[in-house]
Structure 1
Amino acid sequence: MSAAAAGDAPWLDDAAGRLVRPFTVSNGRTEPSVALDLMSQVMTTGRTPLGYLGPEHGQALDLCRAPVTVAEVAAHLRLPVAVTKVLLADLLDCGALTTKPVAHDHHSTDRALLEAVLDGLRRQL
């Protein structure tokens, strides 16, 4: 069994993938205490969370030093979005993160965002 990266051991395995089920990361919770959208941006506040948080919480905090979307955090953590939302909500509840919800204006489209998505898709192909 070879670990994907030294920091990931023993949580990830190249052949088997994640060794801990995602729902155990969120203690079986599936609903976050805070409403988060995929495009909601989260960022650290500089406050240290009190009490024990799992390693994924620490990884999420590291990712959120600059504003980042919930979808990006989920992708970097390699966790389902529902689990990521629960982890981020834990960090929001203890004051370690702040969020900026995305305003949904269905009449306008951010061309720069669409071009960035298209560029990313092209790089993947």
Structure 2
Amino acid sequence: MTDRWFDDAAGPVVRPYAMTRGRTRSATGSRIDPVALVVAETPADAAGEARPPAFPGTAGTAGGTGVLGPEHLDIVARCRRAPQPVAELAAVLDLPVGVVRVLVGDLVEAELVRVSRPVPPAELPDERILRDVINGLRAL
């Protein structure tokens, strides 16, 4: 019996640059942080199912064909269940973070998702204050 090459062993059939149509940045041009949360804003139809519309106004542009790809739909579906960090989406979808950044940027441009920026470390509360609050709660 000869060994056969099955689809599971083949690895990714479509190269990442094909998913983004050769782009390394989304049309918005903004760089999306890997820890930023992606929140879906997809309208639902009467049955509660997400309606995946085409990208508005992107037909014929360098950025796309005006149609959502399967990876875009996967991202929207996962983010409809719960907000997801970009890095988590990349891990779950088994795609490079750079590809997911471009795909999320496309979805932001199409107003299907929004990205909540991470809090800068300088704006986080001081650890000493948090310890004082915890100690105060324990004293109650």
Match of 1:89 in 2: 105
Is the aligned partner of 1:49 residue 2:45? no
Q: Which runs of 4+ in 1 moved over 6 A?
A: none
Q: Structure 2 stretches of 5 or more lacking a match?
A: 44-51, 55-65, 128-140
Percent of residue pairs bearing the same amino acid type: 38
- Amino acid in the other structure paired with 1:85: R
Equivalent residues in 2 for 1:1-125 (5 A)?
A: 1-2=5-6, 13-32=7-26, 33=28, 34-47=30-43, 48-50=52-54, 51-65=66-80, 66-105=82-121
TM-score, normalised by the number of residues in structure 1: 0.71
- C-alpha offsets along residues 16-46 of structure 1, whole Å, 9 cap, x if unaligned? 2101101000000011323210100011112
Give the structure, 1 or 2, with the largest relative contact order (CA under 8 Å, sep 6 or more): 2
Q: Structure 1 stretches of 5 or more lacking a match?
A: 3-12, 112-125
- Taking only aligned residues, the RMSD between alpha carbons, in angstroms, comes to 2.1
- Amino acid in the other structure paired with 1:53: L
1:81 to partner: Cα distance: 0.5
Write 1 or 2 for the structure with the bigger share of strand.
Answer: 1
1:107 to partner: Cα distance: 8.3
Report how many aligned residue pairs link the two structures: 100
TM-score, normalised by the number of residues in structure 2: 0.64
